[in-house]
Chain A
Amino acid sequence: MSAHQKPNQRPELAALDDATVAQALTRMHLIRKFEEAAEASYMRGLIHGTMHLSIGQEASAVGTTLPLEAHDYILSTHRGHGHCIARGAEPKLMFAEFFGKETGYCKGRGGSMHIADVEGGNLGANGIVGGGLPIAVGVGMSIKAQKNGRVCMVFFGDGASNEGAFHEALNMASIWKLPVVFVCENNKYGMSMDIGRAMAVANVADRASAYGMPGHCLDGNDLAGVAAVAKEAIARARSSEGPSLIECKTYRWRGHSKSDRNLYRSKEEIEDWRNQDPIRRLEDELKAHDRFDAAALMKLEEDAQRDIDAAVEFARTCPDPDPKDLTRDVYAL
């Protein structure tokens, strides 16, 4: 199974060596399995709050972050489990957080919508639509002032692109040429509002021209295509040429959150997008080019499932926080 040999392989896919592709696939599987296990845990009563699942959006989270370096930053969203895993977060600490345990990434204080791993460069998911966008500007200012060569990638949804925060942040990042990559995961709906009814232009990426930056409108379910454009945008940011806006058109198979009864979209539409499964698409393409055989692909998926099962088991047995520590960490001392 050697890369770069089979003819007719797209340059975007050929650019990813086997080890990179295997890592990307592993992360996509981990995200899918994490979300499925989260849903199952909810059904079993192990989860106290709500959740926003990203099943179907795995190529966007993994493809955009694949070209990032270890010291780069990300800022995530309420639908952020995938971004954490894509950046190498440990599923067992994520589940511990999800289950509200003292051993979780945020000691059970944040939960699903606030998972962060500041030391690992994940500056946090965000419960406010568009909340991370202005923060990315400040991170970019830090990077510029400290001349440390990092890049900040900030995720947001199609809905967030109608917040004032989006417009203020893109403008400021552009006038100051900050090393920021704006990634819009356009999954078509802001809760139930179709983006076609919420926005007068066809694509979120069209808005980039208003802020003097490149806008890329992508098939967000194509891992290799997303990674290729992200690589270009990250390089542009790192070389002080300024920010870019990437729009990944994708779809969440599940509802907005647990309260969603799918009244605003059809079964046919959901089925249509399930047929564009980003994981299956990548696997099929790799098999077609003889880069991985079915057994090797199966092993990646099974390993991911084993990791997630172990993570859930770890989190289940962890201790809850002590109520006497309620006000700890409201202030830094």
Chain B
Amino acid sequence: MPSDTLEAGSEIRELSYAEAVREALGQAMEADERVFLFGEDVGVYGGAFGVSGDLVHRFGKERVIDTPISELGIAGAAVGAAITGMRPVLEIQFSDFVTLAMEQLVNQAAKIRFMFGGKASVPMVVRLPGGSGTGAAAQHSQSLEAWFAHVPGLKVLQPSTPHDAKGMLLAAIDDPNPVLIFEHKLLYKTKGHVPAEAYRVPIGKAAIRREGTDVTIVGSSIMARKAEAVAERLASDGISAEVIDLRSIRPIDFTTIAESVRKTHRLLVVYEGVKTMGIGAEISAMIAESEVFDFLDAPIIRLGGADAPIPYNPVLEKAAVPQEDDIVAAASNLVRRGEA
């Protein structure tokens, strides 16, 4: 059972991110017999990050299926099950291993509906633990989500809170399209309020985590949490930051970003994936191409991953992706430049 933290007389209940994902999986499987979970070591082992946990004992080996180490094969199996009436949820053990499954996700899952003239749909979910910070080095720490956001036909989500992890996974399982959910490994143990019922968080809507007037900080995944964390420090320096959690990068909620920038006149985009050709480039270009461009009082700043593989050494590893101090410095710089 999840470790519920029930406050006396209230409905406030805290779960970890990993528990929230597991609760969503359990509720989806209880509600719909078409839903099944499969992947490497998701059974008795409970998943490499403990996400599937006890689900195999609750639902049996027929619905929580350990697979061989065959990422291409299991991605294709998800496609085949999805087009013939099932609702597969596939775990790719580390998101880096999705490189072995690209063919099925990019050529098949994303395109089947379109290629078949709308006469099929591919309702599958792929969960991908990603990101750095665990000392796992270059082949177990990447943030590859932007690759998939470049592919029409896929949806790409990055929930950052336990609440969204549950609600977006349930929405993804309902969705008739292939949905990839990138879960940052450092978020799995973070806790937050998670309602017990099976609720949905709509796909494609960003969340304003904190309202502000001086600078808009758009973050994806763990960077949204870091941005939220530093907003108080910025406030004590007299900077009012509006923090937007992207939550979904395909589709992307440009309206919420544009409305915020129209108000704050400054934009900082923070993401862990490599900065070059990344999420920040797309958001910056969308602002530059829109009428909101005229509202900018300072150039847009992107904070993203370094142009280097993720290193093993912990000092280097931290240096390779944006940290809280970097966000504070960039936001302060942006506001000062805007005032100059």
Contacts and interface: CB of A to CB of B under 8 A. Distances in A.
A116 B120 contact: yes
A322 interface: no
A134 B113 contact: no
A107 interface: yes
Given A172-B67, A172-B68, A108 B117 contact: yes
A167 to B, nearest CB: 8
A284 B88 CA distance: 50
A268 interface: no
Nearest to A117: B119
A330 interface: yes
B139 interface: no
Interface string A29-44: 0000000000000000
Nearest to A137: B77
Q: Which of A116, A135, A169 has its CB near the most chain B CB atoms (within 10 A)?
A: A135
A328 interface: yes
A134 B84 contact: no
Interface in B100-152: 103-104, 107-108, 112-121, 123, 152
Interface string A88-114: 000000000000000011111110001
B77 to A, nearest CB: 4
B37 interface: no
Contacts of A164: 72
A182 B246 CA distance: 44
Contact of A330 (B78, B80, B103, B153): B153
What size tier do the contact residues of chain A reach?
35 or more
A21 interface: no
Interface stretch (A46-54, A141-149, A193-201, A216-224): A141-149
Nearest to A73: B84
A332 interface: yes
Contact of B118 (A73, A104, A136, A328): A328
14 contacts: A106-B119, A109-B114, A110-B117, A116-B115, A116-B120, A123-B83, A128-B103, A136-B80, A138-B82, A141-B80, A142-B81, A146-B86, A330-B114, A330-B152
8 nearest CB pairs, A to B: A134-B76, A138-B80, A168-B73, A107-B117, A329-B118, A332-B176, A138-B77, A106-B117
